[in-house]
Amino acid sequence: MRVSAKADYAVRAAAELAAAKDGPIKGEQLAESQEIPLQFLEHILLELKHHGIVRARRGAKGGYWLAKPPDAVTIADVVRAVEGPIAHVQSAPPESIEYRGNAEHLQEVWIAVRANLRAVLEHVTLA
Amino acid sequence: MRVSAKADYAVRAAAELAAAKDGPIKGEQLAESQEIPLQFLEHILLELKHHGIVRARRGAKGGYWLAKPPDAVTIADVVRAVEGPIAHVQSAPPESIEYRGNAEHLQEVWIAVRANLRAVLEHVTLA
DNA sequence: GCGCTTCTGACTTAGAAGGTCAAGAAAGTC
DNA sequence: GACTTTCTTGACCTTCTAAGTCAGAAGCGC
């Protein structure tokens, strides 16, 4: 029930990319402006790239940029890319768990929790 | 952003206690009916006891019971007892984090996330 | 070909998750 | 008072994740 440093960093970096309009931004620049350890940030950016959220080019004049317009990328997209599925219980989706005895209604509670989380995270975009 | 086994177990045990009305329930009984490893469960129950959520008596005819009526105990109470504060970012409450540059609005997002989580967890009681 | 920057994998250190084990202390029963 | 039951506590264990660090390879622009 907590937000990891990695997820926080990822969203911050994405927000920074969303704001920049002139060409690719270097990892070093992102690391500085958001005070994130450079090497760690680059691993995160790589994961974001593999999930199709950012694009990158190496070499001089290289850097990172968003693959989609900022209003098409939600916080949930970014968090899921680095942390995996949201609101899983014991590493499984809540609807796949069987509760017995007097704990039967608990499943509905966890599903409601996930729904409310999504309501926020999938509604807010980088824009 | 996930629910640990410990939190899940704690709520299930609490739900079981909430449903029983005739005297204390043994740890072994709870472990069996909810399929939770006994020794692990007893550690959890101890934590719940320290947080004033359950009471216990040892010896023959001993066992655990809720310290308060079921409609006065929320899921949030139980989860906080075993997992600590809900929806912290990097182990700190969201309002204590300083975001700079283009990530400024992120703080509001995390606070909204926490508010929505609380809306569910503090509203649902064991009853 | 050279310098710049991303890409990748291997490694590290610390702490949490998810338990297990064994001894001790209190309460009830006979 | 002896005995049993059940909670209490602390120590230990294994596996995984968090949060980084390091070194080198590979692609890009000029």
> What's the pLDDT tens digit per position in A40-84?
999 999 999 999 999 999 999 999 999 999 999 999 999 999 999
Q: What is the pLDDT of residue A23?
A: 85
Angle ∠(A126,B90,A79) on CA atoms, nearest 5: 35
Reference A69, options A118, A24, A21; nearest CA is A21
pLDDT higher than 90, residue B39: yes
Q: What average pLDDT is seen over chain A? A: 95
The protein residue nearest nucleotide C5, judged by CA to C1', is: A59
Strand D nucleotides, any atom under 7 Å from protein beta carbons: they are 4-11, 18-23, 26-30
Q: What is the mean pLDDT of residues B28-48?
A: 95
Task: State percent of chain B over pLDDT 70.
Answer: 100
A116 phi/psi in degrees, rounded to 5: -70, -35
Single pTM value for the model: 0.92
Contact B113 A102 (CB under 8 A): no
Question: Does B86 contact chain A (CB < 8 Å)?
Answer: yes
Helices (H), B1-127: 5-19, 27-34, 38-50, 75-83, 106-121
| pLDDT tens sequence across A78-88 | 999 999 999 99
